[in-house]
Amino acid sequence: MTDVLVDRARAWMAEDPDPDTRAQTEAMLAEPQALAVFFTARLQFGTAGLRGPIGPGPGGLNRANIRRVTGGLAAYLQDHAPGGIVVVGFDGRHKSDVFAEDTAAVLAGAGFQVVLFDTVCPTPTLAHAVVWLEAAGGVMVTASHNPPQDNGYKVYWSNGAQIIPPHDSGISDRIDAINSLSELAVPDLAELRAAGKVRRVPPEMAEDYLARVLANRVHTGEERRARLKVVYTAMHGVGTASIQAVLGAAGYTPILVPEQAEPDGDFPTVAFPNPEEPGALDLAIAKATAVGADLIIANDPDADRLAVVVPDGKGGWRPLTGNQVGCLLAEDLLTHADPEDTRPPMVATTIVSSTMLSRIAEAHGAEYRECLTGFKWIANAAIPFDASGGRFVIGYEEALGYSVGDVVRDKDGVSAALLFCDLAAACKNRDESVLDLLSALYRRYGLHASRQVSIKLSGAEGKAKISAIMQGLRDDRIDTIAGVPVIERTDILAGSSEDLLTGRRTQVDLPSSNVLAWRLNEGSRVLARPSGTEPKIKFYFEVVEPLDAADRLEHAEQRAEHRLDALERDFRGLLR
């Protein structure tokens, strides 16, 4: 096997355009066992593109792989919009700018008009630009909140949403058809710019984004903005300029966490650049405590996610979950909707997010959609709804992703930040806290408490273990979990759901996906699925706890946590 890897590495070096990865390959050839990491298997083009460690060979993210993938994308787009516009953006990770330039050169060499951001940009800005420019598609070079050693390549269709079937498999097939990089034309970028084949994003695009984000607001009182003190961290990502522009235009002056305000691909102050990770918001919390802030908001490195932290009323700080932020925004937007807008409203979330959104939708007469995990599914539910005369209000997923209206057909942590600041400011103007509003929400709809548990299982052995766990759960007839009867079992891969009380089977109206779900008595739920972007299997638990007027929120939350503990403990015992 070593000889095969050596031959593969030498062949790779012959085509590699990057001196950095050629040098890395040369060093690995001196110790051939090191080749196994990057030269055993090809990094696969997945449901939205590529994501993986920066490094040489077919198993790494590098300039050669970027060119090959872009060549496949260009070939596929030629069938749909030959000679059209393709927008390319990039974040602040290592090599992102170089990968974006290679992408632009290959697309232009294939005959497309390329609009290339000339500096780092948030992912939602790229998604908005695709629609604004009426482009055939877009590419964003980002690995979102992955570790510093990773990067990625995300593909958008002409509707501004991430690609879904059949486009993902169609592009992958075109990538596989490329035998050698010599088949691709890669003109000099400077010459392409001089010839007008690669151009900058017009400033009017950012102006349009800003105007449309501001138009989504439902709270606009001057006194509300003036009283709210907001601390913001970009998590060493690209969100600072956009947050300052959007919040500034709305009358806020965000207080930055200076150590994390500028893009830095090393992410030096955090162990993991994900605001959900323990410790990631420590600097923001320290800053907020020092300045007496009312609210902390944070984006992940490409600014498509939003984290929110609020005072806990006891001198400390409490991070809100994605479910809590999504439901608070949904209730706020539906409650304060323009009464003259008669279009039927719709809200959407994913199958692993809280079911509380369904109760909010019912109370406000809004249509409710549940989609597969991944914002591309929410976007592709919203687009035809709007086209048919409806009004998409908000979509969210529990992993801190939110999209409001039709400004961006993907997660947008910038516009969501503005709307949450408005919500918090309106609360303060009424001498209430965000937690007071959350408590009122729970009293109306029931306290929906949720928990996600991930088990990391890397490599081929881990992949096999994940597959075995999912198969074991399919084979076992689980009738109770933590003593609570299962009343419905759903297998989305098989496309069916079984009512265990009646034995009736129904078809699931969702694309096939490796997801299992158990609905329990008392409103509880358990779901299991492999991650689509990381070597993990994920489990989701939800309970609904009644909360009456005399009940204290913290007591109801404690009861819910005990029930979640019991569900998780018992369910883990079922894994094999």
pLDDT in tens, 77-108: 999 999 999 999 999 999 999 999 999 999 99
Lowest average pLDDT, out of 12-16, 209-213, 405-409, goes to 12-16
Residue 23 lies in a domain: no
Lowest average pLDDT, out of 294-298, 392-396, 474-478, goes to 474-478
Based on the domain organization, do 422 and 370 belong to the same domain? yes
Write down the pLDDT at residue 544: 95
Write down the pLDDT at residue 481: 95
Based on the domain organization, do 379 and 429 belong to the same domain? yes
Amino acid (1-letter code) at residue 62: N
Give one DSSP letter per residue of 74-85, joined into a string. HHHHHTTSTT-E
Residue 257 lies in a domain: yes
Residue 575 CA to residue 473 CA, distance in Å, equals: 7
Asked if the model's pLDDT at residue 188 lies above 70, the reply is: yes
Write down the pLDDT at residue 220: 81
Based on the domain organization, do 149 and 257 belong to the same domain? no
Write down the pLDDT at residue 391: 98
Residue 319 lies in a domain: yes
> Which of the listed residues 400, 428, 445 is the one where a domain comes to its end?
445
Residue 481 CA to residue 520 CA, distance in Å, equals: 8
- The domain tally of the chain equals 3
Residue 539 CA to residue 322 CA, distance in Å, equals: 16
Tell me: the pLDDT tens digits for 328-353?
A: 999 999 999 999 999 999 999 999 99
Give one DSSP letter per residue of 231-278, joined into a string. EEE-TTSS-HHHHHHHHHHTT--PEE-GGGSS--TT-TT-SSS-TTST
Give one DSSP letter per residue of 379-411, joined into a string. HHHHHHHHHTT-EEEEEEETTTEEEETTS-SS-
Query: How many residues belong to the chain?
Result: 576
Question: Are the beta carbons of 6 and 35 closer than 8 angstroms?
Answer: yes
> Which of the listed residues 445, 479, 501 is the one where a domain comes to its end?
445
Q: Full-prediction pTM beyond 0.75?
A: yes
Question: Are the beta carbons of 385 and 346 closer than 8 angstroms?
Answer: yes
Based on the domain organization, do 69 and 169 belong to the same domain? yes
Residue 140 CA to residue 153 CA, distance in Å, equals: 6
Residue 575, sorted as left (phi over 0), alpha (psi -120 to 50) or beta, turns out to be beta
Residue 30 lies in a domain: no
Pick from 355, 340, 317, 319: nearest CA to 541: 355
Write down the pLDDT at residue 223: 58
Give me 168's structure tokens. Answer: 């993902």
Based on the domain organization, do 454 and 369 belong to the same domain? no
Based on the domain organization, do 441 and 452 belong to the same domain? no
CATH of the domain at 308: 3.40.120.10
Based on the domain organization, do 425 and 469 belong to the same domain? no
Asked if the model's pLDDT at residue 224 lies above 70, the reply is: no
Parallel, antiparallel or unpaired: strands 345-350 and 391-397: parallel
Asked if the model's pLDDT at residue 71 lies above 70, the reply is: yes
Based on the domain organization, do 398 and 290 belong to the same domain? yes
Based on the domain organization, do 374 and 476 belong to the same domain? no
Residue 10 CA to residue 397 CA, distance in Å, equals: 44
The arithmetic mean of pLDDT across residues 541-561, rounded, is 89
Q: Is there a catalytic annotation at residue 144?
A: yes
Residue 287 lies in a domain: yes
Based on the domain organization, do 231 and 337 belong to the same domain? yes
Residue 557 lies in a domain: yes
Domain that holds residue 455: 447-572
Write down the pLDDT at residue 1: 57
Write down the pLDDT at residue 460: 80
Tell me: the pLDDT tens digits for 285-333?
A: 999 999 999 999 999 999 999 999 999 999 999 999 999 999 999 999 9
Give me 302's structure tokens. Answer: 């490409």
Residue 18 lies in a domain: no
Based on the domain organization, do 410 and 297 belong to the same domain? yes
CATH of the domain at 486: 3.30.310.50
Residue 24 lies in a domain: no
> Which of the listed residues 445, 466, 491 is the one where a domain comes to its end?
445
Confidence of residue 197 (pLDDT cuts 50, 70, 90): very high
Based on the domain organization, do 432 and 451 belong to the same domain? no
Q: Which of 144, 172, 242, 403 is catalytic?
A: 144
